[in-house]
Amino acid sequence: IMIYVDNWRWVTLFLLCLARSAPAKRIFRCPAECTCSKDSVICVGSSFIPRTYPDIIKTIFVLRFIEGNKIGTMNKSVFRGLRDLTHLSLANNNIKLLPKDLFSGLDSLIELDLRGNMFECDCQTKWLIDWLKRSNATVSDVYCNGPGEKKGLRLKDVPDQHAECITTDFVLHQTLSTQSMSAELFFYKEDIYMALAVPNSENCLVMEWDHIEINFRPLDTITGRSVVGCRAAVIHGQAYVIVTQLFDGSHVYRYDPKQNKYVKFQAVEASNISKPNDIEVFPIGDEWFFLVVDSSKAGLSTLYKWNETGFYPYQYLHEWFRDTDAEFVTMEGKPHLILASRSQVPVIYQWNKHSQKFVLHSEIPNYDDIVTVKTFQINGALHLAMACYIGDSKVVRWTGKQFEEVQAFPSRGAMVLQPFVFKEHQYLVLGSDYSFSQVYRYDEKKQEFSKFREVYVQWPRSFTALSTDRRDFLIATSFKGKTKVFEHIPVDSSL
């Protein structure tokens, strides 16, 4: 065995012990490295194991004592090949860390002494803590030297460190060579599709998910004029894409399986819409609706309702307020619409069962110039993520009577504050025109979002989460750059 440590002092004993009294049947010569007696062969400070020995000896014990030195660590292969090693002492050294799986292959190990060392019970020691809990070997009590509250704990008593040592990351998975304003995911006949609004090429690009290649591939291109939004809806088994434009109104396209493409189904009456900024599609009971949010001073945010021949204008909301975004949400068991605006605080509409219309219910005071509003849940409580282009973006929580501020995020140039969940981790991503997009992760102990990492997306306009094939992806659209797909991966910091 070779161990590269100064002032190394070790003792290796191979004890060949008496098993039964019987006359020797073959000639045995004591090796030069060993001391022999009638019923034992002791080899000290040697890696040599005798190949022949008296028949009277039936059991071999291999012991290695490497104690009382100033060893801080050791090579991960130092015990390789010592399958017969039964006793090992590393006591009274200065060991803070042992290489992962150092004791793998020591199948005969009976006793291990690690006392008198300075183990840091962090992620680098996780493997040792896990090994001690499942090993059949007798191990002396070993105590943590740190960090923090773990100091003084027995290694065996350290709580499970999986959540602490398994972190995550976002890595670039696919780049789509197109700019886009939004990405709308929808599921149709057990397949996954995405509708991208592509203003610079004046079309809506429909893509499908390839489960073999694990990426998106083009399916169809819906051409238009100054396309600013694409939203999908699957109604009565039919797939539709609603396309909003700055000119020539809005149109509905229906998927034709014979042609394997989307064909024009309806021109939507949009005389009261001047500058569509968002589309929200949702059902209430068995009825389907979509809302076009108008961001101009002269337009009306308009609610459309589906009948058997298409969508028709159903209700006009919010005149003259330069609406920027809408979010459909169920609160207290009732359907609600939250409308954000550049010229007033967000307002809440509640669905009235009797009139079958949305009625102005309340407002969210003290939050001006909101660009987008998104809903999400934390521990069953409804939260809103509200992006603000100038000033701080905010997260607020519903108390049952009103929304109260939970956390603020510096966000100059922010166009979106998007919540999403991957592998039970709650995230927020803040997309900005002037800096890297910031990903925040919710900390249960602190009860707040902490800055997690940055992702680079040029002029981001939306972030959309996709979980499929046991993998998680985040789609980031870009107004000035390429659309990117990031994969959410686990990272084991104990490796």
| Contact yes or no for 31/43 (Cβ under 8 A) | yes
Which pLDDT score is estimated for 164?
A: 81
Give the bridge partners for 256, in sequence order: 261
Q: What is the pLDDT along the chain (495 residues), one digit of tens a residue?
A: 333 333 344 444 444 444 444 444 566 777 777 777 766 666 665 556 666 666 666 555 555 566 666 777 788 888 888 888 888 888 888 888 899 999 988 888 999 999 988 899 999 999 999 999 999 999 988 899 988 889 999 998 998 887 788 889 999 999 999 999 999 999 999 999 999 999 888 999 999 999 999 999 999 999 998 899 999 999 999 999 999 998 888 999 999 999 999 999 999 988 888 899 999 999 999 999 999 999 988 889 999 999 989 999 999 987 767 899 999 999 999 999 999 998 889 999 999 999 999 999 999 999 988 999 999 999 999 999 999 998 899 999 999 999 999 999 999 899 999 999 998 899 999 999 999 999 999 999 999 999 999 999 999 999 999 999 899 999 999 999 999 999 999 998 877
Q: 149 in helix, strand or coil? A: helix
| Contact yes or no for 196/183 (Cβ under 8 A) | yes
Which pLDDT score is estimated for 440?
A: 98
Does the model's pTM come out above 0.85? no
Domain-wise residue ranges, the chain:
11-160
Structural fold of domain 11-160: 3.80.10
Chain Cα centroid distance, residue 382: 21
| Contact yes or no for 409/391 (Cβ under 8 A) | no
| Contact yes or no for 344/321 (Cβ under 8 A) | yes
What CA–CA distance (Å, rounded) separates 338 from 387? 14
